[in-house]
Amino acid sequence: MKMFFRKLTALAVTLCVALSCAASALSCGGALKLEEISVVKTSVKTEAVVGETLDFSEMKITARYNDKSSKNLTFDDVTLTCGGKILEKRDTSVTAKTGEKTIEVVYESAKTSFTVRVTDPDGNDEDFVVTGYENDVRLTRYNSIVAEAGTAVYGEAEYEGQFFKEENPEYFAGDDNAFLYLPQVTVMDNETGVFFTLERFRSVSSVTLKGETDVLLTAKKVADPSANATGFYDGDTLYVTSYDVKNEYVFTPDAVGKTFVLSVLPSDSYELSRQFSAVSVTVTVVDGYNVYEAKDLAVIENSSIPERIEAFAALKEEKGLTDVNAKAVVFQRDVRLTASDIPSAFTYTVKKPFSYYEGSGEDKKVVASYEEQTFLRDLTFGNTTFLFLRELAGNESFSVIGNYYSLDLSALPLVASFDSEEGVGYGSDYSNASLMKICGTDESIKSDFTVSGRVENLNVIGNANRSEWKDENDNPVYAGGLIFLKSGFCKLDIDNVLLKTLFIALFPEFECSFNVHHVKCYDSYQSAGYMWGAATLNISESNFERAGGPLFILTHYNPTTDKHSYPTMHAVDSTLISNVTGSEIWFASIEGASAIIAEIKKFNALFNPLGKSLTTTANKKEVLNLVCLLMPNGTGTSVISNNDTMGLADITANGKTTTLSRMENNAFGQTLKSITKQGAPTFNVNTESLLYYNGQTVSWAPNFGSDASYADFVASDHLALNYQGIGLMLGFFAAQA
């Protein structure tokens, strides 16, 4: 994979590849700074009975710093208090009375807390009255997001942050682990008059199976009374068991593919201020694992690589996770992924001072300094780093179901620009590391099986801010950001997903296709999409905007000897914009790149008489919309001269299709190749007409166009430009007066 980014750099010397600038999320200036601490929830009890001794000796706390490094702490490193009283390592003061007890954890300047629910085994323990009862805040938020989806129109401030509107949105739950449904129960302490919300509560549930005729399932108490559980049946078929004190629901495999309504009330063992109405949630059950915390994402991993198996086994043991062969992950909360949530083998810390800079020459200034820095490995176990690798064989599939929640990657370390004793940096190649790879295995390829995946209803926030920051090697800092999704040898559907500040958002490679529908992607550091080899990207009704260079890059792998491994892209009814000036940080760092952009802008003279322009003015700068770049594999000057490049990209907008085609199996492709081989640039909007420029005049290619064909250019929103071994798709603007 190293070679693939070298060829991109070589191409940028002769054409245009860009990065833009935007705000950075790192703290500026100063030494290493503690940002937050968090308690590993599996290391502490959150449920206890009156008089029980709480043992904090195995407690684990994670401290996170502004350089994205982390440190593991124990009880001896922190101070625990409850109600103003400092707690002992083995403590009974917390459980002296029933109720929800908040325990504060303090380490240096940071604090956090967790709650312990103390109950009496008899159940008649609470000295409070229930005063309020509302739906689970997660479901309230979900309903609000679904209601707002699609209400803002393009150009309004709220538009980019809204999902597309679905006709019949569903909330999903997995069957591999418990589904937590926790309505808000507000109570008043009878002794103090203080109001608080119960973390868990004793509940009474009813379950309805949805269908042509709804069926109210029969409730049967589980035989073991200590389980406090109820099974719900249709005849002899058990669909779900509710654990009435934990507010958890465990679905059986028979429930997969079916939809249920869970209706819940507080138990009548509580003192109620009034009669409350039941609240409910409607869920469709899938074969999958419910994700509540970042650590849960480890269930994605099923790699056959021995070193990865060992690394994830250690992580799962540390986090208290069991091995589950999940067919999907189902988000049940917003998740923020940090270095402590991935195997330690994927990161390393360089213990020396670091400084980051902006500007150059006399204007160069330090914008951030650190005593040490934690980095993500670009290569792990001899392979490109994927934080989570999902291998599929046979007719297997895997899904990432977002339920409209967020996956925040902004706290993850970056890949370094330099090699060190601790790890390999990206150097001139920039980051190869990705959050996730979903791919077919060799077995599935040889057997010609179909493997597939799906990502839906998820908001992804990356760690590749569009910033001008450079490190001490004068390399761009955020060029070490993450790719969101790579995939090879399978088919992926990506639907209703928001993607922002990723190094590259979507990366299909080899024999792979991405079907992208209702996706919004903004502020990619390099490109929004990168197609490598025989990869296909199909886009419909989506928005991709503000990449640091070409919005999409298509690479024909080894065009001289391989006439099959070429990329294709099809976009329909989508907004595709990457306005660049040629002076962005990437252009400025590559000799000759800005000059090439200037030459392209000169072609405006050819199209201004048609009312078209390749440039417009934005923020007082002249920009061009560089939608996609088609190029051959290779390095050095051979890239630009390799006239065997093949590939296809077409964009349909306003009922008109513009085609960038370098296929050799038709007369158009053969004519184009013969012209570009002579070094003349060509222009077209379809495969019926072809203009070329010999340095002095513009002419129609033989048998491909006449003066009447200019009408096609006038009607089109895009222009295909080919020069020797490369092709560009540019957006037209209205000619400026």
Residue 158 CB partners (closer than 8 Å, separation 6+): 148, 151, 152
User: For helices 2-14 and 593-601, what crossing angle results, to 10°?
Assistant: 50
pLDDT score at 429? 62
**Which residue ranges make up each domain of the chain?**
34-122, 132-154+163-287, 288-525, 550-737
Question: Position 392: which residue type?
Answer: L
- Compute the distance between CA of residue 644 and CA of residue 340 in angstroms, rounded to an integer: 47
String of DSSP letters for 584-638: SHHHHHSTTHHHHHHHHHTTHHHHGGGTEESEEEETTEEEEEEEEEEEES-STTH
Closest CA to 454 of 330, 336, 569, 568: 330
Q: Is the dihedral of CA 153, 156, 158, 161 positive or negative?
A: positive
Topology of the domain covering 34-122: Immunoglobulin-like (2.60.40)
The tokens for 129 are 């009255």
pLDDT score at 3? 33
pLDDT score at 595? 67
CB of 628 within 8 A of CB of 661?
no
DSSP-assigned beta bridge partners for residue 360: none
Residue 29 CB partners (closer than 8 Å, separation 6+): 366, 367, 368, 369
Characterize 431-462 residue by residue with b for buried, 16 or more Cβ atoms within 10 angstroms of its Cβ, and e for exposed.
bbbbbbbbbbbeebbeeebebbbbbbbbbbbb
Question: Position 286: which residue type?
Answer: V
- Compute the distance between CA of residue 659 and CA of residue 662 in angstroms, rounded to an integer: 10
- Compute the distance between CA of residue 410 and CA of residue 346 in angstroms, rounded to an integer: 16
Q: Which runs of E-coded beta strand occur in 89-189?
A: 90-91, 99-107, 110-119, 128-134, 172-174, 179-180, 184-189
Going from the first residue of the chain to its last (737 residues), give the mean pLDDT of each consecutive group of 10, the final group possibly shorter: 33 31 35 86 85 90 85 93 93 85 93 86 70 95 96 96 95 98 93 86 95 97 86 98 94 98 93 94 98 96 93 91 92 96 93 88 89 88 89 91 98 88 71 92 63 96 91 86 94 97 94 96 94 95 94 89 88 96 62 67 86 91 92 67 88 92 91 90 93 88 90 92 90 86
Residue 391 CB partners (closer than 8 Å, separation 6+): 302, 303, 304, 439, 440, 441
CB of 33 within 8 A of CB of 66?
yes
CB of 353 within 8 A of CB of 402?
no
Closest CA to 407 of 484, 496, 300: 484
Closest CA to 142 of 121, 170, 116, 122: 170
The tokens for 554 are 């298509």
The tokens for 638 are 């051979």
pLDDT score at 436? 97
Say what the pTM is. Answer: 0.87
C-alpha 456, offset from chain centre: 11
CA distances from 284 to 265, 326, 452 (A): 21, 16, 21
- Compute the distance between CA of residue 72 and CA of residue 297 in angstroms, rounded to an integer: 20
CB of 286 within 8 A of CB of 399?
yes
- Compute the distance between CA of residue 662 and CA of residue 401 in angstroms, rounded to an integer: 37
pLDDT score at 162? 97
Give the max Cα distance, the chain: 95
The SS3 assignment for 509 reads: strand
pLDDT score at 708? 84
Question: Position 142: which residue type?
Answer: Y
- Compute the distance between CA of residue 625 and CA of residue 213 in angstroms, rounded to an integer: 54
Residue 75 has φ and ψ, to the nearest 5°, of -55, -35
Domains 34-122 and 132-154+163-287 in one fold: yes
CB of 413 within 8 A of CB of 375?
yes
Cβ count within 10 A of residue 386: 24
CB of 48 within 8 A of CB of 54?
yes
CA distances from 287 to 64, 173, 326 (A): 34, 9, 7
Residues present in the chain in total: 737
Q: What single-letter DSSP state applies at residue 150? A: T
- Compute the distance between CA of residue 99 and CA of residue 101 in angstroms, rounded to an integer: 6
- Compute the distance between CA of residue 466 and CA of residue 478 in angstroms, rounded to an integer: 7
Residue 144 has φ and ψ, to the nearest 5°, of -65, -45
Q: Is the dihedral of CA 426, 429, 430, 435 positive or negative?
A: negative
- Compute the distance between CA of residue 554 and CA of residue 556 in angstroms, rounded to an integer: 7
Q: Where are the alpha helices (DSSP H) in 199-273?
A: none
CB of 395 within 8 A of CB of 449?
yes
Residue whose tokens read 């949530």: 341
- Compute the distance between CA of residue 309 and CA of residue 389 in angstroms, rounded to an integer: 11
- Compute the distance between CA of residue 188 and CA of residue 132 in angstroms, rounded to an integer: 9
Architecture of the domain whose range is 132-154+163-287: Sandwich (2.60)
The tokens for 682 are 């060509």
CA distances from 35 to 38, 64, 301, 340 (A): 11, 6, 29, 14
Give the containing element (helix H, strand E) for 54: strand 54-55
CB of 589 within 8 A of CB of 693?
no
